[in-house]
A and B are shown apart, each in its own frame.
Chain A
Amino acid sequence: MVVRVVRSLRSGTPVARSGLAALLPVAGTAVVLAVLPPIWFGRSTYTTGLAIITLVFASYAVGFNVIFGSTSQLFLCVGALAGIGGYATALFSDSASLPVFVGVLLGTLIAAIVGGVLSWIAVRRSLGVIFTGILTLVFSLAFQNLLLGQRQLTGGSTGHELKAAATTLADDRVGGYYLFAALVVIFLIVFRLIQTSHVGWAFRALRDDETAAELTGIDVSRYRVYAAVVGSAMIGLTGGLYAYSDGFINPTTFAFNQIDVLVLVMVVFGGLGSLLGPLLGAGVFEAVDQLLSSSGQIREFLYGLMIVALFLGFRRGLVPALGRLARRPVVPASPLQPRTDDGPAVPSAT
């Protein structure tokens, strides 16, 4: 069962709060992100650049978290979906001479459709985690090769310089920072609203036990596709805005081992399905990356070591682990005597 897989890899308690109170953590995050440049790194173009990268990855990670963290669909095509957004932005605005924002919107739309179709296929064919993973990985690699192969259109491995790029953002890194900070905050609001709506309830149910969810009246397939569409749109939008703000993209920008691996690590590290996990995961990852940057060539090796240690040791993610420390469960006395042992719930038949 997908259920048990993801259950042990993800955060514990669901969110039952609703209304404005539910958005408090997002508001807090927004404030922190807003004040970081003036009180910390606003003067350093280099550090601001790193902060932008962190936010871009956090945006991808939130999108991936919607798809994988919420509904257990292992989408190994985050980079490809972002690439769809990025290249669509570039091609529609440069080659088709449409306004940039139209290009970004079209890119977002196409990414959403592609993600939805992939999910629909996986749902219709009842592909489990592994086959969904392989299917989306195959799509990623095929997309990468298409980008490389269609030179006249994409510029191949030389890449594409966006004529319509945001020159102001390239000069003024802080502007870029706030663009992506706003994006992350918007994504987190969307994520929170989903979490607290009935869709969020359906996600929690189907992630726990698909059959039980179906028996409860939840259309598991529909909610899966829904999550894939929303998450893919987030990823596509991020890719498009990245292309717009950076001004240069090439196939490597969106390659599997440049995006997917990192996003996976960030989200699992932060805690699958948790609200702030992806942002925290991205932050910690980039910080570690900076620490390792002085180690030069051995960096990739250390990454590998980190990934292995992380998955074997911190399987439930950082945020949930901290959460568990903070609230020890209190078990009240009960008339029907809840079990206290850890044995299986099903006794032998009479």
Chain B
Amino acid sequence: MKAVLLDGIVLGLGFGLLGVGLTLVYGLGGVLNLAYGELAVLGAMVVSLVKDAGAPLALAAVAGVAAAMAAAVLLDLTVMRPVYRQSGEHRVLLGLLVTLGVAFLIEGLLNWRDPLGALTVDIGGGPIGIFGVPMPMSSIWASAITLGAGAILVVFLGATTFGRAIRSVMQDEVGARLVGISPSFTRTVIFALSGALAGLVAVTSAMSSPLTVTQGFDLTSFALIVTVVGGLGSVTGAFLAGLLLGIVDTLSAYYVGQYITSVVLLGAAGLTILIRPRGLLGR
């Protein structure tokens, strides 16, 4: 039981980070990036390429994160520009459709280059006892990286001037422009951040199980569930919801089985929309 719970927390941390990346972009004018999971897969494939070329793991991981980040920035600078020129629900819908197209584009590209591609990050080292439970080294590394990234993110958004600028754009685009913050530059930064998070999650999740080319849509839907439960646009909410759903996922998978678990998670998202559309901590 304790082991299952700890596994759940490890998984939940990953979920949380995944959700944060999606929610950051959503908070910015309501665009749901359906290509989000594909960015993660893209990052993973780059890690795998660089690793296979003989580079050290750390370098490969950095390259992968950078690649996902670059892809997100490219996305923002090209197809998202006309989307953000629209307003209101028109923007929301166009954003949904365009990023769906981009998801196909990336998945198609990866499938074409390497249909059997998969990333496995082998950490090695024996398990370490935590609360009397032997935790594999990979879980510890993944959690540490996730917590580190989460902490940096929280400090960045909460305590730096630029982070506050980002949050002000997320709250009020027009107001932000009035006080001299450029929404388009901030947007690019957020896309970069979101892409980097996607890449990071790809690396950490590949530490426990292989990440394949075809998993982009699954990652997007997981991120979507987490964001919906946490409250679209809420960073803390996404972390919290990730943790919660990770524990639920592991417990349910352990006791009931994988398919029902997916239904349970999706049900959680559905119920959130019905009972509290703002999510756990949404505005």
Contact, CB under 8 Å: B259 / A130: no
> Which one of A1, A130, A298 has the greatest number of beta carbons of chain B within 10 Å?
A130
Q: Which stretch of A28-36, A138-146, A174-182 is in the interface?
A: A138-146
Q: Which stretch of A120-128, A232-240, A241-249 is in the interface?
A: A120-128
Contact, CB under 8 Å: A121 / B93: no
Give Cα A264 to B274, complex, Å.
Answer: 25
Give Cα A268 to B97, complex, Å.
Answer: 10
A305 at the interface (CB under 8 A from B): yes
> CB-CB contacts of B228-249 with A at 8 A, as 1s and 0s?
1000000000000000000000
> CB-CB contacts of B43-75 with A at 8 A, as 1s and 0s?
000000000000000000000000000000000
B195 at the interface (CB under 8 A from A): no
A40 at the interface (CB under 8 A from B): no
Q: Which residues does chain B contribute within 8 Å of A319, judged by CB atoms?
A: none
Q: Which stretch of B146-154, B162-170, B196-204, B264-272 is in the interface?
A: B264-272
B127 at the interface (CB under 8 A from A): no
> CB-CB contacts of A296-331 with B at 8 A, as 1s and 0s?
011111111111101110010000000000000000
Contact, CB under 8 Å: B262 / A304: no
> CB-CB contacts of A125-136 with B at 8 A, as 1s and 0s?
101111101110
B128 at the interface (CB under 8 A from A): no
Q: Which residues does chain A contribute within 8 Å of B106, judged by CB atoms?
A: 304
Give Cα A125 to B273, complex, Å.
Answer: 9
Which residues of B from 135 to 194 have beta carbons under 8 Å from A? none
Give Cα A64 to B79, complex, Å.
Answer: 26
Given contacts A131-B277, A134-B273, A302-B108, contact A142 B263 (CB under 8 A): yes
Q: Which residues does chain A contribute within 8 Å of B274, judged by CB atoms?
A: 121, 125, 135
Given contacts A142-B262, A145-B263, A307-B97, contact A301 B105 (CB under 8 A): yes
Q: Which residues does chain B contribute within 8 Å of A212, judged by CB atoms?
A: none
User: Number of contacts between A and B (CB, 8 Å)?
Assistant: 136
Given contacts A142-B262, A145-B262, A308-B105, contact A261 B92 (CB under 8 A): no
A284 at the interface (CB under 8 A from B): no
- The one of A127, A137, A139, A264 that contacts B277, using a Cβ cutoff of 8 Å: A127
B251 at the interface (CB under 8 A from A): no
- The one of A2, A134, A142 that contacts B89, using a Cβ cutoff of 8 Å: A2
Interface size class of B (residues with CB under 8 A): 35 or more
Closest to A156 in B: B259
Give Cα A5 to B97, complex, Å.
Answer: 12
A51 at the interface (CB under 8 A from B): no
A184 at the interface (CB under 8 A from B): no
Contact, CB under 8 Å: A149 / B104: no
Give Cα A22 to B91, complex, Å.
Answer: 34
Looking at the assembled complex, report how far the CB atom of A46 sits from the nearest CB atom of chain B, in whole angstroms.
25
Contact, CB under 8 Å: A149 / B224: no
Q: Which residues does chain B contribute within 8 Å of A302, judged by CB atoms?
A: 108
Contact, CB under 8 Å: B93 / A129: yes
A111 at the interface (CB under 8 A from B): no
In order of increasing CB-CB distance, the 3 nearest A-B pairs are: A304-B105, A149-B259, A301-B108
B residues contacting A by CB (< 8 A) are 30, 32, 79, 82, 88-90, 92-94, 96-98, 100-109, 111-112, 115, 217, 221, 224-225, 228, 257-260, 262-263, 266-267, 269-270, 273-274, 277
A residues contacting B by CB (< 8 A) are 1-2, 4-6, 8-9, 74, 121, 125, 127-131, 133-135, 137-139, 141-142, 145-146, 148-149, 256-257, 261, 264, 268, 297-308, 310-312, 315
A-B contact pairs, 8 of them (CB 8 A): A2-B89, A4-B90, A125-B274, A141-B266, A145-B260, A298-B108, A303-B108, A308-B105
